[in-house]
């Protein structure tokens, strides 16, 4: 089996976004060390709107300029070490401003679909250009929607095509979120790891322009979320996230759903959810899946996460599973 270890390289979204040092630089440096020890390439979906915003504002504020340079240095190091740097779009950076030493985020237009088609093309082009500058020659051809907000895909398809994006890795089977902030429904996704499609990522098309590399998912019992709540309160420092920001609160109904019935979530290293990784891996091996794709975030990793990742890569090597990036899907 082939394993893709991917991370969304981003701050938190909301009133307390956190700092680049704690949310990005420190945890990603730890990831880089683990990757080097195992000779494993990782994939980073970089929040390119953040890069664009800093690049545009760097001459207004010394702090922005220093942070921008620091992030660019790290991304250049990742690219030089052979890691993937791909496009992650959170368009709320269009409405975000730096005030009083902090980013003031307006999430009213969190989804790319909140913008007209012409502006969508402009955003994708600007954000990819900003990433290419930071990635220093990396081939950017893969996309991940911010907040999984991929649908309806036909609204953004032409913008991706025009900017040389032909691989998507946003869909996770059985995933659904009906909130106005994200609004996606992947319950009709094919049961495959990879498929081609044209204008609907849930509908296979043999000769489709786009390739979907699905994020792997696992069904989660309510008992897990009760253990998660206990661990967050009493688990100690090894379960404390690197990031110093705060996630946007989930609606009470969503929390109640997770505590009372089975749900699905991405296979991940985020926080205590990393405890599910080995079980998910064994399930995918038994089912003879071609790919296992992890989605995690440097900002929500913990010391526990890093230990799980280290052990997991050792297991993969022992089993003969390959750690790969998205190069398998690159077109000549």
CATH of the domain at 66: 3.20.20.510
Q: Based on the structure, what is the number of domains in the chain?
A: 1
What is each CA distance from 318 to 50, 282, 312, 315, in whole angstroms? 38, 13, 10, 5
> pLDDT-based confidence at 219, cuts 50/70/90?
confident
Q: Give the alpha-carbon dihedral of 112, 118, 121, 126, to 10 degrees.
A: -90
Residue 264 scores a pLDDT above 70: yes
Q: Residue 32, class by beta-carbon neighbours within 10 Å (0-12 exposed, 13-18 middle, 19+ buried)?
A: middle
State the pTM of this model.
Answer: 0.94
Per-residue model confidence (pLDDT) at position 220: 76
d(CA 205, CA 259): 37
State the residue range of the domain holding 228. Answer: 2-329
Handedness of CA 250, 252, 254, 260 (dihedral sign): positive
Structure-block tokens of residue 289: 């899946």
User: Which of 40-49, 122-131, 132-141 has the weakest average pLDDT?
Assistant: 132-141
Per-residue model confidence (pLDDT) at position 269: 97
pLDDT digits (tens, 9 = 90+) for 187-199: 999 999 999 999 9
30: Cα within 13 Å, side-chain hemisphere: 22
- The SS3 assignment for 168 reads strand
> pLDDT-based confidence at 258, cuts 50/70/90?
low
């Amino acid at each position: 089996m082939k394993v893709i270890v991917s991370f969304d390289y981003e701050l938190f979204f909301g009133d307390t976004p956190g700092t680049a040092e704690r949310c990005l630089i420190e945890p990603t440096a730890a990831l880089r060390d683990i990757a080097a020890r195992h000779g494993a390439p990782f994939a980073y979906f970089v929040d390119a709107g953040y890069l664009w915003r800093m690049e545009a504002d760097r001459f207004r504020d010394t702090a922005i300029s220093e942070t921008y340079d620091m992030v660019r240095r790290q991304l250049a190091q990742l690219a030089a070490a052979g890691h993937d740097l791909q496009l992650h779009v959170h368009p709320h950076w269009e409405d975000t401003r730096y005030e009083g030493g902090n980013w003031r985020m307006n999430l009213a237009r969190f989804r790319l679909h909140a913008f007209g088609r012409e502006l969508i093309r402009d955003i994708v082009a600007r954000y990819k250009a900003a990433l290419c500058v930071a990635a220093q020659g990396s081939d950017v051809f893969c996309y991940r929607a911010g907040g999984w907000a991929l649908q309806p895909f036909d609204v953004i398809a032409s913008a991706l095509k025009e900017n040389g994006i032909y691989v998507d890795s946003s869909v996770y089977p059985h995933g659904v979120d009906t909130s106005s902030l994200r609004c996606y429904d992947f319950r009709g996704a094919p049961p495959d790891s990879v498929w081609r499609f044209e204008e609907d990522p849930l509908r296979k098309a043999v000769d489709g322009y786009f390739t979907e590399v699905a994020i792997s998912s696992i069904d989660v019992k309510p008992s897990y979320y009760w253990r998660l709540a206990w661990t967050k309160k009493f688990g100690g420092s090894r379960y404390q996230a690197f990031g110093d920001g705060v996630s946007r609160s989930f609606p009470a109904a969503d929390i109640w759903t997770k505590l009372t019935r089975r749900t699905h979530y991405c296979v991940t290293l985020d926080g205590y959810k990393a405890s599910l990784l080995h079980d998910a891996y064994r399930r995918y091996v038994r089912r003879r899946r071609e790919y296992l794709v992890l989605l995690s975030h440097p900002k929500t990793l913990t010391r526990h996460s890093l230990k799980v990742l280290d052990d997991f890569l050792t297991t993969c090597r022992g089993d003969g599973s390959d750690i790969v990036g998205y190069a398998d899907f690159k077109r000549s």
